[in-house]
Structure 1
Amino acid sequence: MPVQSFFTARSVTRILTSAVLLAGAGVTFASNLNFLKDTPISYMKDADKKALNDAAQIALDRNKDGESSNWSNSGTGNAVPIHGTVTPRDTLKDGDKTCRSATLTAIAKGQTQTWTPTVCKQGNGPWKIRKQ
Structure 2
Amino acid sequence: MPARFRMAVRRLPQWIAGAALLAGASFSHAANLNFLKNTPISYMRDADRKALNDAAQIALETKKDDESLAWSNAGTGNSVSITGTITPHGTTKEGDKTCRTATLVAMAKGQTQSWTPTVCKQGNGPWKILRQ
Q: Which TM-score tier does this pair reach, normalised by the shorter chain?
A: 0.7 to 0.9
Per the alignment, residue 6 of structure 2 pairs with none
SS of the equivalent of 2:90 reads: strand
Give the one of 1, 4, 18 matched to 1:10.
Answer: 18
Determine whether 1:104 maps to 2:112.
Answer: no
Distance, in Å, in 2 between the alignment partners of 1:92 and 1:42 is 33
With normalisation by structure 2, the TM-score equals: 0.81
Per the alignment, residue 40 of structure 2 pairs with 40
SS of the equivalent of 2:59 reads: helix
**Contact kept in structure 2, 1:47 and 1:76, CA below 8 Å:** yes
In structure 1, the gaps of 5 or more residues are 15-30
With normalisation by structure 1, the TM-score equals: 0.81
**Contact kept in structure 2, 1:5 and 1:50, CA below 8 Å:** no
Count of residue correspondences: 114
The list of structure 1 runs, each at least 4 consecutive aligned residues, that deviate by more than 4 angstroms after superposition, is 11-14
Per the alignment, residue 72 of structure 2 pairs with 72
Distance, in Å, in 2 between the alignment partners of 1:96 and 1:70 is 28
Distance, in Å, in 1 between the alignment partners of 2:20 and 2:60 is 18
- Percent of aligned pairs with the same amino acid: 69
In structure 2, the gaps of 5 or more residues are 1-9, 23-30
Gap change, CA 1:66 and 1:82, over 3 Å in 2: same
Superposition RMSD in Å:
2.0
After TM superposition, the structure 1 = structure 2 runs for residues 77-88 of structure 1, keeping only pairs within 5 Å, are 77-88=77-88
